[in-house]
């Protein structure tokens, strides 16, 4: 799937082992310090400056705080601090019934709410043993792919902002990708009545059926975006400045990525061929072939390549599924009138995961066997891919410029709502 215009520098990069982890040797600091070193152990004579980037900073993608120890403008040590957006979603889930949880988790990964709904309802269905009708599975898959496309479009825009600034070339990419995202949000509005926090998935199926003419409209929109993806490629991939800023920046070793639990496009951009849509099919993915985009480079440019390939793949999958949506019911359970109508029958834990635009979005749910509380989960743990992504920062950022840290952070595409939950 690789469509490289420029060769990757992976073979020219020297690697070293620090604290049992393989990391690239950087040109700016030949002796890369340990990511977790005591800063006192760095050169005692160096004039170091501590810069707290965030939680209020235009490019930290929300309220991430990154403590940078700078030697001049080169970063020596990076410590990400999380928790500024903690809302206690998992605890809240233990107080709400199964059907009430969906609108809460919508706000986790606020760039792709459909994915959150799908993930949590799949876990509930597994716990309760509810079947999902084939039509609902198709609708879910189509929504998931359109949402993935929308999420990657937003990523491409903000990645441009990270590199070019809001007042400049980056802003132009941002505006163009948002024009396309707007079309997708319109599609979701037609389908669910909401532009953003849909609350359309429910235990046992979907709430909203496809309206008349929606499939044709969606196919048309996807065709338009498919054409415009080529424009982005012209605008971004061939841009010398873009290449200078991304090629060879923020290289992630596949072994390190697997050790830290990285998944999704970032892992695939390091050359690991893993995709839950293909390896562990859910919804309607067992009925369609998924071509997994991978790239061996491991740098920011590879992550761009993988995401753009995934955008094209999403357009293809959604278009093919839209052509053959089967007839039938969209929910296997009766429409829920009361919150307590859906009950768990056992107190065991189940885990189910999906491939969200950022990686493996898993949900671990334990049912409650106390009779009067059987409509609420005992425990609901959400495994968010973004939180694992941020753990990469101490390994891949030291030795880079501040500018590169921003670009690296942007290329990981963390969503703070999902990190802190």
Partner 1 sequence: MSFDNPWIHGLVMGLILANVALVITGYSIWFERKFAGRMQNRPGPSVVGPWGLLQPLADALKLLQKEDIVPRSADRALFNLAPPLTVFCALSALAVVPVGPGVIVADLHIGILFALAMGSLTVFPVWMAGWASNTKYALLGAMRSAAQSISYEIPLLLSATVPIILADSFRITDIVNAQLGGKWFALWPPGPGIAAFALFFLCSLAEANRIPFDIPEAESELVSGVSTEYTGMKWGLFQLAEYLHTFIISLVATTLFLGGWDGPGDNDGIIWMAIKSLTLFAGIFWIRWSFMRYRADQLMAICWKFFLPLGLVLVMLTALWVHLI
Q: Please give the residue ranges that form the binding site for partner 1 (CB under 8 A).
A: 28, 49, 51, 57-59, 73, 160-172, 175-176, 179, 235, 239, 241-242, 244-245, 401-404, 406
Of the two residues 165 and 326, which places its CB atom closer to partner 1 in the complex?
A: 165
CA distance linking residue 46 with residue 33, whole number of Å: 13
Of the two residues 298 and 410, which places its CB atom closer to partner 1 in the complex?
A: 410
Of the two residues 166 and 255, which places its CB atom closer to partner 1 in the complex?
A: 166
Query: Residue 45 to residues 39, 69, 71, 108: CA-CA distances in angstroms?
Result: 12, 14, 11, 45
Nearest distance in Å: CB 300, partner 1: 12
Specify whether the CB–CB gap between 265 and 310 falls below 8 A. Answer: yes
Of the two residues 155 and 285, which places its CB atom closer to partner 1 in the complex?
A: 155
Of the two residues 118 and 405, which places its CB atom closer to partner 1 in the complex?
A: 405
Of the two residues 39 and 216, which places its CB atom closer to partner 1 in the complex?
A: 39
CA distance linking residue 51 with residue 76, whole number of Å: 11
Give the single-character DSSP code of 191. Answer: H
Of the two residues 145 and 162, which places its CB atom closer to partner 1 in the complex?
A: 162
Distance of CA 192 to the CA centre of its chain: 22
Nearest distance in Å: CB 184, partner 1: 16
CB atoms under 10 Å from CB of 95, counted, come to: 12
Nearest distance in Å: CB 51, partner 1: 5
CA distance linking residue 238 with residue 29, whole number of Å: 30
Nearest distance in Å: CB 241, partner 1: 5
Nearest distance in Å: CB 69, partner 1: 12
CB atoms under 10 Å from CB of 220, counted, come to: 11
CA distance linking residue 389 with residue 261, whole number of Å: 8
Nearest distance in Å: CB 235, partner 1: 8
Nearest distance in Å: CB 310, partner 1: 22
């Amino acid at each position: 799937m690789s469509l490289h215009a420029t060769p990757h520098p992976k073979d020219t990069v020297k690697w070293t082992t620090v604290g049992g982890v393989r990391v690239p040797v950087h040109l700016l600091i030949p002796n890369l310090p340990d990511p977790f070193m005591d800063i006192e152990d760095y050169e005692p004579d160096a004039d170091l400056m501590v810069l707290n980037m965030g939680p209020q900073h235009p490019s930290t993608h929300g309220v991430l705080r990154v403590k940078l120890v700078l030697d001049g403008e080169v970063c020596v040590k990076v410590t990400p601090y999380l928790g500024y957006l903690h809302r206690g979603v998992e605890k809240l889930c233990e107080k709400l019934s199964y059907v009430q949880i969906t609108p809460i988790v919508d706000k986790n990964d606020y760039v792709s709410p459909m994915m959150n709904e799908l993930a949590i309802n799949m876990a509930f269905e597994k716990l309760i043993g509810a079947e999902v009708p084939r039509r609902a599975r198709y609708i879910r898959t189509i929504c998931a792919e359109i949402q993935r496309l929308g999420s990657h479009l937003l990523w491409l825009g903000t990645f441009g902002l990270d590199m070019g600034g809001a007042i400049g070339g980056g802003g132009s990419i941002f505006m163009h990708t948002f024009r396309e995202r707007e079309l997708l949000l319109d599609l979701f509005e037609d389908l669910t009545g909401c532009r953003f926090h849909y609350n359309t998935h429910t235990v046992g199926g979907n709430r909203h059926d496809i309206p008349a003419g929606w499939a044709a409209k969606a196919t048309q929109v996807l065709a338009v975006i498919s054409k415009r993806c080529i424009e982005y490629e012209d605008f971004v991939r061939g841009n010398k400045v873009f290449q200078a800023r991304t090629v060879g920046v923020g290289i992630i070793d596949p072994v390190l990525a697997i050790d830290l639990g990285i998944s999704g496009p970032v892992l695939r951009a390091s050359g690991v061929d893993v995709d839950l849509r293909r390896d562990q099919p859910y919804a309607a993915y067992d009925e369609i072939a998924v071509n997994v985009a991978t790239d061996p480079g491991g740098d920011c440019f590879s992550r761009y390549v993988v995401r753009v390939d995934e955008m094209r793949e999403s357009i293809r999958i959604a278009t093919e599924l839209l052509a053959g949506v089967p007839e039938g019911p969209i929910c296997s359970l009766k429409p829920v009138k009361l919150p307590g109508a859906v009950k768990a029958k056992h107190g065991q834990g189940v885990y189910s995961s999906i491939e969200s635009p950022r990686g493996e979005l898993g949900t671990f749910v334990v049912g409650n066997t106390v009779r009067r509380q059987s409509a609420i989960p005992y425990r609901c743990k959400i495994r968010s891919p973004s939180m694992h992504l941020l753990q990469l920062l101490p390994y891949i950022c030291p030795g880079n410029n501040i500018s590169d840290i921003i670009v690296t952070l942007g290329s990981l595409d963390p969503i703070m709502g999902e990190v802190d939950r």
